[in-house]
Amino acid sequence: MNQELNNLFNPKSVALIGASTKTYSIGNVIIKNLLRYNYQGEIYPINVKGEDIHGVKAYKSIFDVPGKVDLAHIVIPPPFVPQEVENCGQMGVKAIIINTAGFKEMGIEGKKLEDDFLERAKKYNIRIFGPNCQGIINSDPEYKAYCNFTFTYFKPGSISIVAQSGGVGAVIMQAFHDMGIGMRLYASNGNGSDISIPEIMRYYGNDEKTKVIVLYIESIADIKEFMETASEVAAKKPVLAISAGRTEKGAEASKSHTGGLAGGMTMELIFKKAGIISFTKLDELCYASIAFATQPIPKGKNVGMITNTGGPAIIATDELVSRGLSIPKLTENAKSILKTTMFPAASINNPLDVVATAGAAQFKSAFEVMMNEPQIDSVYLTFVTPPFVDCESVAKELAEINNKQIKPMVCNYITDKQGWIETTNILQDSGIPCYDFPETAGQALASLVKYHEITSREKGSIVSFDDVDKLTVANILRNVKSQNRENLSAKEVYEILSAYQIPVADWMIAENLEEALAAADKIGYPVVIKADSEQVIHKSDVGGVAVNLTNSEEVENAVKEMKGKIGQNDLKFFVQKFLSGGKELIIGANKEEGLGHLIMFGLGGIFVEIFKDVIFNISPITDVESYEMVENIKASKILGNYRGKPGIDKQIISVILQRISLLVTDFPEIKELDLNPVFAFENSAYVVDARIII
Ligand code: ADP
Ligand code: MG
């Protein structure tokens, strides 16, 4: 356990530097919150006048405090903060929450102050939380530490929250609270000048009473640290996160909010790679968290459905199936049992309609059967409260089943909560996740299944390919750098690809017509001629590509025409084998600061331009990940046998992706790499156009 963060989350005493008698001030609210939440430790308000706050004895300075201080809040204006940190250090305080804003986020002067207090904190081994932050909450009855200026006095539970933005944190905690769901630890660390989100995640990961971690992060300061910690923690317990800034505008907003790197799509890829369950909607995240907090993780995607009313179960079925879950048939054994226990009108199938008149006995049998069915991994329940049924008994039965935690269950609970108070209370206390809408219940269950899939997925391994010629690439790149160039020539690019054993169509460079004719003869007709000049980037846009040239006359015409259109002095002719009948693919790598490269795969042509059907992953990619990329584009069917045409060799493409990933990992100076297109055939694939920028 991280001792340092223990002072932050489990303080036995809290000092508040800047405690105030003014009702509407942070220095007042935090004292009030500590009292109201029934904080179990000592409270030491500190202000220059030494005025007591809410009846708690105050001190004029931290030096006057009679006892040891585990945690100090600082809420005074920025210029005074560094000195107070120093004072705390002298008093042996080891953790400080700086709520005050007006530091790095305000520019150079603020940054100076931030650096100043950080330096002093370091000198005394103090850990700083914030600045510009809300603080923490620990609901553990042993502590009840509400070191925070918010207003949600939640009950203990097993969900712990870490939110970069206090506003989003407040949305999440209030939502859980309104649904009657308890939480365990809460942290919103603002600027995160010292204690980082990964560190908090690790603390939650090690905290036995935290079952689920909810994360809101807009930008990651240290992506490597995040990836490592998150992967480690997510393997231990479910981490549910929301990725904000998916749209361009959203990404912009997030950048200006936190000034960090990697927003939007990149964040989603990072989550995926780390094994974090990613959401795009806060409400979905909260609903799913409730199921994680109370239910075991299913061992597969097969759902048994029990309902006492038809329609909602149909909607739920659609939701479950559209999220990749299955509703398998019941075994004969199960059916024969149900025939004896259900009412005659019941529909003995999956979904199992126990009908509205079903009472506790029918529900009991239905659940027993589902829990015993070997092919069923979880149970989805639609429960409406018919006024002609003893619903309290049903609820008690359900609670008892849930207590055994054999298989996870979720419930779409349809009732008037004011009318069925007792039934509702029984269900709520039981920990059965109850949802008003069938889709919500279905989504929550689907998230449980997703976590099972994430934790049991095969990650594969990063292949090292010892047949690559690193030295050749290093020499080429050194030469390009020495000439201060960013764009590599065709010759350089193709030599690099060949050095990494990436198959390319046969090619030669010709200085003039004669050489072009000789090259065409050597390569063998039909050939393609392309303009090769530093100034020409999109060759076909300027008439720099002539395909399917079948004889010397056509080569001659093409060369002459190209000379006429493209007057560049450095114009050369790139002669290449013409390929026909293959599928055009696109493969790319783009450098992302602090992260590595994003490897991209997609079908060429309109699939890229109109449908944007491409898939990304973060380098280095494993063999499994690269194959998944090929499989997971939307149009992947087209890559297989389709309408009588043979498919392509996906394994070859997967290997090209891995080799590209290795190339950019070995040479991180590569900023952009584009293979567009790669022609793929039944048993082979060749790059016909490539670009590298360093
Ligand atoms: P650019 O992208 O710079 O315009 P390309 O080399 O990609 O130039 O050529 C444009 C298009 O011509 C390709 O997308 C492909 O459809 C076709 N093409 C290029 N080279 C070949 C080749 N060797 N065999 C068959 N078609 C080719
Ligand atoms: Mg191209």
Instruction: For ligand 1, atom 20, name the residue with the nearest CA.
Output: 688
Whole-number pLDDT of residue 261: 37
H-type helices in 387-462, by residue range? 391-404, 421-430, 438-456
DSSP state of 392: H
Domain housing 182: 150-294
Going from the Cα of 630 to the center of ligand 1, the distance in angstroms, rounded, reads 21
Going from the Cα of 579 to the center of ligand 1, the distance in angstroms, rounded, reads 10
- Pair (340, 433) in one structural domain: yes
Where among 535, 560, 578 does a domain terminate? 578
Going from the Cα of 539 to the center of ligand 1, the distance in angstroms, rounded, reads 9
- Pair (480, 597) in one structural domain: yes
> Is residue 378 a part of any domain in this protein?
yes
Q: Which residues of 187-211 are buried (b: 16+ CB within 10 A; e: fewer)?
A: bbbbbbbbbbbbbbbbbbbebeebb
- Pair (426, 352) in one structural domain: yes
Going from the Cα of 624 to the center of ligand 1, the distance in angstroms, rounded, reads 30
- Pair (533, 672) in one structural domain: no
Q: Are 63 and 83 in contact (CB under 8 A)?
A: no
> Is residue 273 a part of any domain in this protein?
yes
d(CA 57, CA 43): 8
Nearest to 292 by CA among 169, 378, 386: 378
> Is residue 657 a part of any domain in this protein?
yes
Q: At 515, which CATH number?
A: 3.30.1490.20
- Pair (660, 544) in one structural domain: no
Where among 132, 166, 196 does a domain terminate? 132
- Pair (281, 312) in one structural domain: no
> Is residue 31 a part of any domain in this protein?
yes
Whole-number pLDDT of residue 259: 40
> Is residue 235 a part of any domain in this protein?
yes
d(CA 607, CA 389): 56
Where among 456, 475, 490 does a domain terminate? 456
Q: At 305, which CATH number?
A: 3.40.50.261
Q: Which atom of ligand 1 is the closest one to the Cα of 676?
A: 7
- Pair (607, 650) in one structural domain: yes
Nearest to 397 by CA among 365, 422, 371: 365
| Token representation of residue 656 | 């090209």
Instruction: For ligand 1, atom 23, name the residue with the nearest CA.
Output: 578
Instruction: For ligand 1, atom 22, name the residue with the nearest CA.
Output: 578
- Pair (290, 350) in one structural domain: no
Going from the Cα of 649 to the center of ligand 1, the distance in angstroms, rounded, reads 21
- Pair (343, 372) in one structural domain: yes
- Pair (485, 541) in one structural domain: no
Under-70 pLDDT residues of the chain: 1-4, 245-264
> Is residue 142 a part of any domain in this protein?
no
The number of the ligand nearest the C-alpha atom of 687 reads 1
Q: At 117, which CATH number?
A: 3.40.50.720
What total of structural domains would you count in the chain?
5
d(CA 138, CA 189): 14
Going from the Cα of 641 to the center of ligand 1, the distance in angstroms, rounded, reads 24
Q: Which atom of ligand 1 is the closest one to the Cα of 540?
A: 4
3-state secondary structure of 429: helix
- Pair (574, 658) in one structural domain: no
> Is residue 141 a part of any domain in this protein?
no
- Pair (595, 529) in one structural domain: no
The number of the ligand nearest the C-alpha atom of 523 reads 1
Mutate to test the pocket of ligand 1, among 542, 689, 691, 692 (most ligand atoms within 8 A of CB): 689
Mapping DSSP onto H, E and C, the string for 76-115 reads CCHHHHHHHHHHHHHCCCCEEEECCCCCHHHCHHHHHHHH
Q: Are 153 and 146 in contact (CB under 8 A)?
A: yes
Instruction: For ligand 1, atom 17, name the residue with the nearest CA.
Output: 547
Q: At 648, which CATH number?
A: 3.30.470.20
Whole-number pLDDT of residue 258: 41
**CB within 6 Å of ligand 1 — which residues?**
505, 528, 530, 538-540, 545, 547, 576-579, 584, 676-677, 688-689
Going from the Cα of 508 to the center of ligand 1, the distance in angstroms, rounded, reads 15
> Is residue 659 a part of any domain in this protein?
yes
Report phi then psi at 92, rounded to 5: 80, 15
Count CA atoms within 13 Å of residue 129 on its CB side: 34
